[in-house]
Amino acid sequence: MRNEIINLLKKEEKFSEKTIDELRDVEINDFAEMIKDLGQQPTEYIKREEIVKDLNTEQIGKELYIFKEVMSTNTVAKFLSANHAENGCVILSEKQSNAKGRLGKSWESPLGGIWLSIILKSQVDHSKLPMITLATGVAVVKALEKVGITNAEIKWPNDIMINGKKVSGILTEAITKFNTIENIIIGVGIDANFDVDILSKELQEGTTTLDTELGHRVDENEIIRLFLEEFEKIFILFNDGGFEQILKEWRKYSYSIGKIVEVREPFNKSYDGYVLGISREGALVVEKIDGTLEKVISGECIIKN
């Protein structure tokens, strides 16, 4: 990970003269400070002042780093989570060059999108992680509602869809020590202001952007602020054990329930079925063609009708 972070520094004029070895020898705390400093330099269109001026949160986004370009905000978040970042610290980047999607896929992150990661320093039980992802999906939809997108839905587990096309994805990563979760990184990508034609061919058909849906550019900074506020609200609910309420909200926005799907679970297990609902643990409950029920905890679900 240090190499990736070094690459980030090497792009900066201030550091370009330094050799890789010089940077590699920097003591880890100083190195983290260099990154934090870089995350406070001026950026083009994601603007710290715009985000923080009305930000109504206690913790989420109070520590905020914004970059022009990183490989992946989740990686920077992982590094900072181990190096004195506070709970609720947010990492944003205007562009990502090697971003990660779910299931080992890559994630295209051109200029004009919202690419962010939140660091949660919570000792959450492994079994509760899916619930955090579902809660994040609800927070995205609620933030979008506030800027006039009234028809966003959540395709299990965490694809945000508008008119059947994906507009946002969430990647939750747990950092564990001796099998205990120490930190959680929640990565959120929202396709805000760009033309899908700039994405690779195979993504174009199934992807949409906020400006395409609304017919005008959206204010990324406002959406970031709204999302951080919604996220904090739902995370407080999560911490208070309000899982039923989170599930109720999720069901309200569900794109998957009532659909015929092809479920692709890890290790090539795949089958067709009808989505009955979502269980208390956040698993998708699918009735297979033979009438048996499956609870899907991880994997992918392709809508067939």
User: Which parts of this chain interact with ligand BTN (CB under 6 A)?
Assistant: 72-74, 96, 99-102, 105, 107, 109, 115-117, 159, 169-171, 187-189
Q: Which is nearer to ligand BTN, 57 or 109 (CB)?
A: 109
**Tokens 């190096």, located at residue:** 83
The separation between CA 268 and the C-alpha centre of its own chain, rounded to angstroms, equals 25
Q: How far is the CB of 281 from ligand BTN (least distance, A)?
A: 21
The CA distance from 14 to 16, in Å, is 6
- Cβ 288 to ligand BTN, closest distance in Å? 25
Q: What is the number of other CB atoms lying within 10 angstroms of the CB of residue 186?
A: 24
Shortest gap between Cβ of 203 and ligand BTN (angstroms)?
A: 11
DSSP annotation of 254 reads B
Shortest distance in whole angstroms from residue 173 CB to ligand BTN = 9
Pick 142 or 155: Cβ nearer ligand BTN:
155
**Residue 140 tokens, joined:** 């995205």
Task: Give least dist CB 286 to ligand BTN, A.
Answer: 20
Shorter beta-carbon distance to ligand BTN: residue 25 or 205: 205
Nearer to ligand BTN, 102 or 178 (CB): 102
Q: How far apart are CA 141 and CA 139, in angstroms?
A: 6
Nearer to ligand BTN, 3 or 29 (CB): 3
CB closer to ligand BTN, 180 vs 298: 298
Report the nearest approach of ligand BTN to the CB of residue 73 (Å). 4
Task: Look up residue 95 and give its two tokens.
Answer: 């562009």
Residue 211, both tokens: 């400006």
CB of 188 to ligand BTN, least distance (A): 6
- Closer to ligand BTN at the Cβ: 74 or 221? 74
Parallel, antiparallel or unpaired: strands 106-109 and 269-278: unpaired
Least CB distance to ligand BTN at residue 231 (A): 14
**Choice between 99 and 199, CB closer to ligand BTN:** 99
- Asked whether the CA dihedral 149, 247, 300, 175 is positive or negative, the reply is positive
Q: Which residue has the tokens 């990563």?
A: 173
Euclidean distance between CA atoms 185 and 198, whole angstroms: 28
* One-character DSSP codes across 33-72: HHHHHHTTS--SSS-HHHHHTT---SSTTTSEEEES-BS-
Give the residue ranges of DSSP H helices in the chain. 2-10, 13-16, 20-24, 28-38, 48-52, 73-81, 129-146, 201-204, 210-214, 220-239, 243-252
Q: Which residue is nearest to ligand BTN (CB)?
A: 169
